[in-house]
Structure 1
Amino acid sequence: MLKRIIKGLDFIILLLLLILMIISIFCIYSATRTNPDYSQSYIKMMYFYGLGFMVLFIMLFFNYKLLLRFSPMYYFIGVGLLVLLFFKGDTINNAQGWFILPGGIGFQPAELCKLILILFLSYFLSKREVETLRLFKEILPMGVITLVPFLLVLMQPDLGNSIAYLVIFIVVCWFGHINYKHALIGLVIMIIVSGSSLWSYIEYHAEVKQFMASKHKEYWLDRVDAVLLPEQASEKATYHMKQSVKAIGSGSLEGDGYLHGTSVQSGQVPYTYADSIFVVVGEEFGFIGASALLFLYFLLIYRMITIALNIRSQTGIYIIGGISAMFLFQVFENIGMLIGIMPITGITLPFISYGGTSLLINMVSIGFVLSIKIYDDIDVEDIIMR
């Protein structure tokens, strides 16, 4: 067993994780060293990473095909946790999406449900009898499976993670060989719905704003207005984005230097240790540092796709495709919201932002990828799928 694990390990992925860990700890330290309330966050992140690597290596001893058989149970547990949030959840940053565990540790079920959705959709596709996805047999049921957690997370509200569910659904369908005609129909529907929604939002903005105010959800519009209608948005609504863009831009080519970022060290940008941690990279390490970080993400996703291209299991390909899409979307959304091209959402930068739930789920996701590579040639899938 141990020989198989060592032989099947992707040491480049492990090296990339170690590098991302170092970047994360140094950036969190820079972002919090002047704030006594969060000055120990970098130490906590070390513990999270230690636990994350432990969980990752434990997963290497389990064949992913055996873990996958319980994905329907994972799904119902995940949905149950999302429902329970509305009764027992804690509110952080205007989103009722957390359970505060003993010791003050926050647990965010929306993060867990992204991986659960990938596993359940992959399991569902592994049961099909034909190669191309059928509209009523596969696509619509998968859409319903995705819609349930999407709506529950959107109601928290957590726009970033809810959109991630849709991205996962689309990518898994693509890897599952969706019919081009169905893909085209879906694309047309998305364009029509998005276009009409955007037009309606702009045309009836005052009415929408009044309705949201009556529901005490004005902050939803603040985040959207900061991108779509910045001239109508309040100073409070655009503050986060403007400060982020200013800080990243001030980093120029080489950055202001580690621990010398003016905006970061003065606390002008909110949550630089968490969702806005890319500001630390952009301001203190400049374009070169930001580009290096993006290159590391590229290498990580490239290695995962390389594994997918060299395995026999179609189900493994679905899982790796979904995980790659999850990481890619989070990187795009997190950085995009800080440079002014996406709405501000509470989505983390994978492996860099402070957060135990996010990091552990990401490490478990990598554990699945490595398990797929290690156990690809063991034919137990046909047995467990019956």
Structure 2
Amino acid sequence: MINKWKRIDWSIVIILLFFMGLSICLIHSGIAAWPKFKGSDTRMLFYYILGFFVFFGILLVDYRILIKYHMYIFAGGILLLVSVLFIGSEVNGAKGWIKIPGVGLNLQPAELFKLILILTLGALLAKKSKLGLSFWRDIVPLGLVTMIPFGMVMAQNDIGNALSYLVILLGMLWVGNIKYSHTLIILVIFTATFYGGVKAYINYHDDIATALEKSGKAHWLKRIDPWLMPETASSDASYHTRNAKLAIASGGMFGKGYMKGSMVQSALVPYTYSDSIIVVVGEEFGFIGVSVLILLYFILIYRLILIALECRDRAGPLIITGIVAMFLYQIFENIGMFIGLMPLTGITLPFISYGGTSLIINMVSLALVMSIRLYGQDVDDIPLPSANKKLDQTLLKSLMSRWSGQSEQ
């Protein structure tokens, strides 16, 4: 047990402590102009304390146990996604939360399922041949496994988390040794779909707007219009992103000072304690503050990649790749949507934005990485399979005959 504790990557723990301090301070500044969110900073401290207990508890659990029962975990996650459609509560147009009585925590199954999907894809990919993934036998089934929860989360009007599933799939397929030709096919399909979708949205905007309003998804217009059609978007739709960009730009190089951001402290930017918390960093700490935060993320991801490279088990690096892809997507999406690069979605900034479910899931993800560091050295990687069984048998006989000849000499 002592040896296990010695092998913990304490640099990651130190980074988490930095994130905790930053998060609480930024949330405190973000809620100053919003009395109805008073107490969010102290609740975030409670979530962090709970998160550290979870982190140190789960890292001692052998991750291979979770891989062994991945199908049961996947089925349980699907049941949660189904149940939220019936008993879930709606927040900002997305029906995706289940209230947990007694602890004051709202569980978001779509957030939890990101980790479940990573475990499932990691377990399935670990069984595949290292020589390359087959399109129909490997990639298509893995795609179907991902598209099932993707469709269910889209039905909850949660496009942000739904897209993260696709990013996780692509990242894990790449490390799982997808062929370049298949990568090219996927990129062509994605590019054509994206370009066609953008052109169709712009050219048939009125018809699409009418259809979305009839289907109860009119809030999507407020998220997409300021991104694709900023010149024609209504002032109400562009209010959030426009003010966010102005606040970040006004911060300049060094910012206006802690709790001195004029737009943040005047409540001109919504949700500065949660999704829009990067606006607090940009206006009050400027370009330097944002750069320091991104540097902390870079160091964290760098440490995760090092752990993946040291792991001798095949499933471990695949799971870490999925977690890295999840973090990178959340960071890029959250920051990008407030500088005009990405559409406005409900994606939180990892470890910084207010949110109990998001923080706990992220802490569990890092605990899983730490478990891979502790237990991923205990077994050798599975042997490299050859193209066919006959060749395997031939190689085995050759090695055995050579070994027996050396023994006789």
Normalised TM-score (structure 1): 0.96
* Deviation for aligned residue 1:301: 0.4
Per-residue displacement from partner, 1:5-27 (whole Å, max 9, x unpaired)?
22211111111111011000000
* Deviation for aligned residue 1:192: 1.3
Q: Which SS does the other structure have where 2:90 is aligned?
A: strand
Residue ranges of structure 2 left out of the alignment (5+ in a row) = 383-409
Q: Contact conserved, 2:247 with 2:283, CA < 8 A, in 1? A: yes
Aligned to 1:8: 7
Aligned to 1:135: 135
Q: Distance in 2 between matches of 1:91 and 1:368?
A: 30
Q: Distance in 2 between matches of 1:338 and 1:130?
A: 40
Q: How many residues align?
A: 381
* Deviation for aligned residue 1:310: 1.6
Aligned to 1:76: 75
Aligned to 2:39: 40
Q: Distance in 2 between matches of 1:184 and 1:36?
A: 51
Q: Which SS does the other structure have where 1:106 is aligned?
A: strand
Aligned to 1:346: 346
| 2:369 partner amino acid | V
Which one is further off, 221-230 or 371-380? 371-380
| 2:214 partner amino acid | S
Residue ranges of structure 1 left out of the alignment (5+ in a row) = none
Q: Contact conserved, 2:252 with 2:287, CA < 8 A, in 1? A: yes
Aligned to 2:163: 163
Q: Contact conserved, 2:277 with 2:353, CA < 8 A, in 1? A: yes
Which one is further off, 164-173 or 57-66? 57-66
Q: Contact conserved, 1:5 with 1:60, CA < 8 A, in 2? A: no
Aligned to 1:374: 374
| 1:323 partner amino acid | I
Which one is further off, 311-320 or 326-335? 311-320
Q: Distance in 1 between matches of 2:381 and 2:56?
A: 22
Q: Distance in 2 between matches of 1:313 and 1:249?
A: 46
Aligned to 2:291: 291
Q: Distance in 1 between matches of 2:114 and 2:205?
A: 32
* C-alpha RMSD of the superposition: 1.3
Aligned to 1:365: 365
Q: Distance in 1 between matches of 2:313 and 2:108?
A: 31
* Deviation for aligned residue 1:205: 1.2
Write out aligned runs for 1:1-386 (5 A): 1=1, 3-103=2-102, 104-379=104-379
Per-residue displacement from partner, 1:174-224 (whole Å, max 9, x unpaired)?
010001111111111111111111111111111111111222221112211
Q: Which SS does the other structure have where 2:95 is aligned?
A: strand
Q: Distance in 2 between matches of 1:356 and 1:146?
A: 25
Per-residue displacement from partner, 1:226-261 (whole Å, max 9, x unpaired)?
110112211111000001001111111111100111
Normalised TM-score (structure 2): 0.91
Per-residue displacement from partner, 1:323-343 (whole Å, max 9, x unpaired)?
001001100000001111111
Q: Contact conserved, 2:312 with 2:381, CA < 8 A, in 1? A: no
Aligned to 2:407: none
| 1:140 partner amino acid | V
* Deviation for aligned residue 1:130: 4.7
Q: Which SS does the other structure have where 2:296 is aligned?
A: helix
Q: Contact conserved, 2:133 with 2:176, CA < 8 A, in 1? A: yes
Q: Distance in 1 between matches of 2:275 and 2:130?
A: 42
Q: Which SS does the other structure have where 1:338 is aligned?
A: coil
Q: Distance in 1 between matches of 2:37 and 2:208?
A: 37
Q: Distance in 2 between matches of 1:173 and 1:122?
A: 10
Q: Which SS does the other structure have where 2:36 is aligned?
A: coil
Q: Distance in 1 between matches of 2:314 and 2:300?
A: 21
Percentage of identical aligned residues: 48
Runs of 4+ in 1 over 4 A off after TM superposition: none
